[in-house]
Amino acid sequence: MIKILTHHNFTDTQTNWDNIFKKSANQVVFLTSWWNHIWHKYIDAKASIDIIEIYENENLIGIAPLSIEDKTIKFIGDENLYDYKDFIVIPGKESTFFEQLCKHIRKIPWDKIELDSIPYNSPTLDYIPKFFEIEKNNVDIYPETSTPTLILTRNWDDYLSALSKKHRHELKRKIKRLASQTKYKTHICKGSNIHQSCLNNFFNLHKLSSEEKLNFWNPEREAFFEAISHQLICEETLILHSLILEDKCVAINYIIQSNESFLLYNSGFDPTFSEYSVGLLNTAFAIEYAIISGQKEFNFLKGKEKYKYHLGAQDMNIFNISISK
């Protein structure tokens, strides 16, 4: 027996969402109920909320966090503050979930379905096209961008050895130069040890980094970052990794620990110290910390900036699905 419920607020579904998330295969922070709730509260409170719960024999098997406006169906959230989006489904129930979801969507008036930021290994990429192509809909799957990811080695020496000769030489040269010309150290704030002054360092250095990053900020995004930061601190999953030169914080990485991965959600640095490549070196030292702390991956998240590949990352594509009648 199949039952389908639709909620237009987060309160009614939060407990169910949290429970199904803990059972799902892709437990990345962007798919939590609280991340989506905070985004809606601070970024776009007017956005339509259409959270679909699908039950099989009274058991919840999956959640579709959707927003339906102007006959367009899409995921909740935007491209700037989410690196991944997807459905939250219990492993082994994908076929039933997607079949029933597609049947339900066909009953809703829609012209377009635009699903973005789907991980390369998501079952969504298989099941959504399958069930919509049956109805002769036009389905297009295409790469949106990449989340370059580094599979971590057992130790720092193995990491350096795995880099290309050119990039290994450049990284060693930069570290040697930093050590010979400055007094530097790294500083790690994690979880409940993160105070507002640490967060302020991130905000200030991010804005200093470039005009593009300065223009990123507005009151809504600042409120969003404050809110997610406090939630991540409560969950002990936020890491602020800083590079200190002569007792001054000159670079900082905003890292989210997710399962056995470090997610580099954002970063900032002081351009005054660009000659020492402080942004790149702080990230290299963060990779070393990830290795020491036993992580399996260092995920640079969205964007194909060159420095990610210089530090050994490999492309992991994310995809969009576009469907029209």
Residue 72 has pLDDT above 90, yes or no: yes
Its domain, for residue 295, covers: 149-299
110 and 13: one domain? Answer: yes
Domain membership of residue 308 (yes or no) is no
Residues 136 and 48 in one domain: yes
Where are the extended beta strands (E) located within the chain?
Answer: 2-7, 50-56, 59-69, 72-75, 88-89, 112-119, 138-146, 149-151, 184-190, 238-245, 248-258, 261-269, 297-299, 317-324
Assign 267 a pLDDT band (cuts: 50, 70, 90). Answer: very high
Name the domain count of the chain. 2
Rounded CA gap, 123 and 91, in Å? 10
Four-point Cα dihedral 35, 38, 39, 45, nearest 10: 150
pLDDT of residue 152: 98
Q: Are 119 and 248 in a shared domain?
A: no
Question: Rounded distance, CA 299 to CA 266, Å?
Answer: 11
Residues 89 and 56 grouped into a single domain: yes
Q: What is the pLDDT of residues 123-176, one digit of tens each?
A: 999 999 999 988 788 999 999 999 999 999 999 999 999 999 999 999 999 999
What's the average model confidence in pLDDT over 82-95? 98
Q: Are residues 174 and 287 in the same domain?
A: yes
pTM: 0.96
Place of tokens 């900082």: 252
Percent of the chain exceeding pLDDT 90 equals: 97
Query: What's residue 203's pLDDT?
Result: 97
> First-to-last CA distance in the chain?
29
Q: What is the pLDDT of residues 209-253, one digit of tens each?
A: 999 999 999 999 999 999 999 999 999 999 999 999 999 999 999
